[in-house]
Structure formats: structure tokens, C-alpha cells
Amino acid sequence: MTVDETQADKIVDGRFLEPPEPFLLTMEALDTIRPGETVLLRLCREPLPLYRALQLNGYAWETSCLDDGTFEILIRHRAE
Amino acid sequence: MQALLSYDQSPPIAAPFRFFLTAPVFGILAGLLVMHAGPNAFMSRWTPEALALTHLITVGFMLQVMLGALIQILPVVAGANIVRPSLIAGVVHCAITVGALLLAAAFLTFAPWMFVGSSLLLFSGGAVFLGASGWAMRGVPATGPTISGLKTAISGLAVTVALGVAMAFGMSGWFDLPLMQLADIHLGWGLLVWGIGLLAAVAYVVVPMFQITPAYPEWFVRRFVPSLLVVASAWTIAVFGGWDVPLLVAALALIGMFGLFAGVTLFLQRRSKRASFDTNQHCWRGAMLSLLSGGGVWLAARSVPEIGEWPGLPILCGVLVMYGGFVSVITGMLYKIVPFLTWLHLQNFGQGVLMAPNMKKIIAERTMHRQMLSHFFAGILLVLAVFWPETMAMPAGAAVVVSQAWLAMNLCSAVRVFRRHSRLIAEKRANT
């Protein structure tokens, strides 16, 4: 199921970027959001290491996989 | 956001690096052996020198990097954490390093105790790795093609090691075995299921990720690695049976799998969104073309009897597939993995005190590119040495020594960056 772009306050499209750019851009985006806001990350692969980093640092996320293989990860502060 | 970079699932940097830094040493030893052996290295695949060379490359270089890379990527790609990775890496590295040296020495001397010693060491190293990785992956469902591909490749390693150990005991005189047949089966499982299987499973992730290409096609991802098992099994039965037609069909299928992987990868590379290729992409392209050439040479040999009878043919195929194919692609991968891990660990270690250096500057692109050219030059000289061993063996061996020493220097430069930057971080922390 595609995440509605309007739900996201920031969008990071990492599909055509080489590591570690998507990771760094996601971190930068998370730095700027306030509680209640979200970051949407799009990638061509499931970012397992990112999940651990998010878990350790107080974020919650929802992952969905589109038919074309794109992974969409919607991230927000955990305490919401 | 430095504090977020808590990649606690990534093993300590020394765990994979000990494998990566040892591999070029075996490359140098292989070059020195070519120089020392001269034409004997190119006479037949069964000469002591050719057997020693093959295993310096396959066990000393290829297996080292493949195991080091697996220890690193199992947690990252599959979420499978190896328990006590430093200890496991240390034991496995020590066993396969000494085992590979002893195996090469065993082929050169045919001393029975060396075959037994190398078998025990390689079996121990393989068993510890297989046990640790199997335990780590026990709860990981084979949901994606990479995870199921890794499992298949690791099973291919188990068969390859088991056959290799059996043959080594056979050569030490413990029991009689059909060594020629077992060698062909060992080669098939080692290069096809373990080698190409691992390469494909990793390629599904790293080729689109690092080369900015479309994903591998769905039909290929679903069927390729499982088909390797089928082909290797058919190859095994045909070799044991000794039937001409099934053997030819199985061999064609085996070559076809190499060609298919190379062809699909080259097709994807042509659709890369990069403006220009970097060293990693050039290495992959050179490797895939070399794999295709190896398959092409073999097909030509089957079609033209005069070529098929030439004793240099298996050596030429070996040079093209192992040195031109696997060593090239591994070199390209090292040039991505080593800077990335250096950056990752420095970023973690820094914790906001000091930013990690730009990943692209950890090993300069120009230096990597020049080393790659020296590697391909060495590969061309090795091919020429198959045709003119008397005159070309010495320069080919020297070129391999130079290119592998250069690779070692480039990888060590990343280690120096890591150490220098770690010291700076420690000093900054001490002052705050």
C-alpha cells in the first residue's frame, strides 16, 4: 500500500542514491521534525540497519513494499 | 544526528578486515609462485604448481574475502547476528589462512602430513563458520532472494569443503578415491553454487545499490540461485556416471549459468543512472566480460576438436573465470566495502565529537582506478602466458605481484585513515 505523500512532513527519496547518502539524509530529516511530524523514506531495499538505529534512538516506523519493489518507511517519534 | 548511528548489529571492524587485508597477501604469493614455477604453472591443471596456484587464489584470496564479507553482511542484510563475531572471525581466519598456506605447500611437496594438516584446518575453519552462520540464520525466514541465496551458497560451501577435505585425505593415502572425478565435482560446486551463488545473492543487493541500476529481473531473482543447485546436482551425477551426453548437457548448463549471470549483470550496468563508471563498476564489467570469455572459450573447444585437445584450455578457462572473473569482482567489492565500513565505524565512534571523513576520500578514486588497471594488465599477461609460457610466465607473475601489493597498500591506507581518525576522536573526547 502506497503511503500518501501528504501524510509525510519530509520525504527522502533514496532510490537512486549510493550508500550512505540515504541514511545520512534520513538522519538529517529526522533532526528537523517535531513530535507529531513524519519522515517518509523511499528505498529500493529494506534498510534493516536503519531499523535498529531508529529503535535505539526513540523512533517508530511503518514499512510497506510497493509492487515495483520500492520500500516506503514512514518514521515518527515513538512516544506519539 | 551522530547519536543515531548506533549500528550495534555490525560486527567490530577487525572481524571482516582481517580477512580483507590477508587476501592480497595470497595474491602476492600466487604471483611469486607463477614467477618461480614459470612454464610449469601453465602446462596442465594437474601440475603441482597449477594446483597450488588454484588454491592460493580460491582459498587464500576468494574464500578469505567471501567469509569476511559474509560475517559483515549477514547481520546487515539478513538480520542474522553471529554470536561473538570477533572470536569466530579470529578462529576462522586463523584456520583458513594457515590451512590455505599448508594446502599450497602440500600440492608443491605432496607431503601426506601437509594434506592431512591442511584438511583438518580448512575443515575446522569451515565448520566453525558454517556452525556460527547456521546458528545466526536459524530463525531467519528465507523471505527474500538474497537470504535464500545466501543459504544456498553456504550449503554449496559445505559441499565444496567436504569434497576438498575428502580428496586431501585421499591424496595423503588414507583411502582410495576417484580423485579426478571428485575434483571436477568439487570445482563445479565451489565455483557454481558457492562462488556464483554467493555473488548473485550479494549482487541482488549491491549492484542496484552501488551502481544505481534497476533491480535484477524478477524471473532471474526467483529462479537463478535455486537453478544452480539443480545444475550442480546434475553435473555431479553426470560426472559420477561418466555418460558422455548427460555430461555435455550438464557442462553446457553449468557454462550457461555463468553466462546468464554475466549477461544479465552487464545488461543492468548499461542502464545505470551514473554519469560515468567508477572503479567498482569497471571491475564488475571486466569480471563479467571475463566470465563470458571463459564460457566462450570452453564452447569453442567443444565445437572445434583441435582447440579441445589443447592442454592449455583448462588453464585458460581457469585464468579467465578465477582471476579475470572472481578476483576482479572481489577487488571491485573491496573498494566499496572497505571505505564504507571505515566510514561507518568512524561515524559510530565519533558520536558527534568528530565527523567521519567523506567516504569517497578514504581511498582515493584515482588510486583505486590505477590499481584496477594494473590488475587487468596482469590478467592479460596471464592469458598470454597460457599461450607462450616460456616468455610470458615471468612478466605475468611479476604483474600479479605488483597489482596485489598495490591492492594491499590501498586497503592499508583505509586502515591508516581509521587509526588516525580514531586517535583524533579519542583526543577530542579526552579534552572535553
> Is B89 among the domain residues?
yes
Q: What pLDDT, on a 0 to 100 scale, did the predictor assign at position B4?
A: 38
pLDDT tens, position by position, B97-137: 999 999 999 999 999 999 999 999 999 999 999 999 989 88
pLDDT at res. B3: 34
Pairing state between β A38-43 and A10-13: parallel
- Give the closest residue to B89 by CA, choosing from B158, B144, B12, B183: B12
Out of A18, A48, A56, closest to residue B79 by CB = A48
Residue A72's pLDDT is: 94
On whether residue B399 sits in a domain, the answer given is no
Confirm whether B289 is domain-assigned.
no
Q: Structural domains in chain A?
A: 7-77 (3.30.110.40)
Q: Does A31 touch chain B (CB under 8 A)?
A: yes
Record the cell numbers describing residue B239, joined without a space: 560426472
Express each pLDDT in B298-341 by its tens digit.
888 878 888 878 889 999 999 999 999 999 999 999 999 999 99
Closest to B381 in 3D by CA, of B366, B391, B371: B391
Could you tell me if residue B59 is inside a domain?
Answer: yes
CA atoms of B111 and B104, how far apart (whole Å): 11
Tell me what pLDDT residue B432 has: 74
Å between B138 CA and nearest CA of chain A: 17
Q: Which of residues 356-385 of B touch A (CB under 8 A)?
A: 359
| A57 contacts on B by Cβ (under 8 Å) | 1, 3-4, 6
| pLDDT tens figures, A28-79 | 899 899 988 999 999 988 887 788 778 878 899 999 988 887 899 999 998 7
Residue B112: partners with Cβ closer than 8 Å, 6 or more residues away: B171, B172, B173
Residue B83: φ, ψ to 5°: -70, 135
What pLDDT score does B7 carry?
52
| Residue in chain A lying closest to B72 (CA) | A49
ipTM metric:
0.71
Q: Which residues of A touch B212 (CB under 8 A)?
A: 16-18
Does residue B246 fall inside a structural domain? Answer: no
Residue in A27, A44, A48 closest to B4 by CB? A27
The sheet that has A38-43: what strands, in order across it? A10-13, A38-43, A71-77, A59-65
**Cα-Cα-Cα-Cα dihedral sign, residues B322, B325, B326, B330:** positive
Q: Quick one: closest CA in A to B344, which residue?
A: A20
Residue B218 C-alpha, separation from nearest chain A C-alpha, in angstroms? 10
Q: Report DSSP state, residue B174.
A: S
Strands A38-43 and A71-77: antiparallel
Chain A, nearest residue to B359 by Cα: A20
From the CA atom positions of chain A, what is the Rg in Å?
Answer: 12
pLDDT band at A3 (very low <50, low <70, confident <90, very high): low
Range of the domain at B120: 10-140
- B209/A19 CB distance under 8 A: yes
pLDDT at B362: 95
What CA–CA distance (Å, rounded) separates A77 from B407? 44
Question: What was the pLDDT predicted at B8?
Answer: 54
For residue B109, the one-letter residue type is T
Side chain identity at residue B111, one-letter code: A
Domain membership of residue B116 (yes or no) is yes
Pick from B323, B394, B341: nearest CA to B60: B323
Q: Is B362 part of a structural domain of the chain?
A: no
Judged against a pLDDT cut of 70, whether residue A2 lies above it is answered with no
Rounded to an integer, what distance in angstroms lies between the CA atom of residue B97 and that of residue B91?
A: 10
Length of chain A (residues): 80
- Minimal Cα–Cα distance from A4 to chain B, Å? 24
Domain count, chain B: 1
Q: Please, what are the averages of pLDDT over each run of 10 residues along chain B (432 residues)?
A: 47 94 98 96 92 96 94 80 92 98 96 94 95 86 82 93 91 82 94 96 90 92 95 93 87 94 97 90 98 93 82 93 97 95 86 81 96 98 97 98 98 96 90 78
pTM confidence score: 0.90
- What is the least distance, in Å, from the CA of B5 to any CA of chain A? 6
Q: Is A40 strand, coil or helix?
A: strand
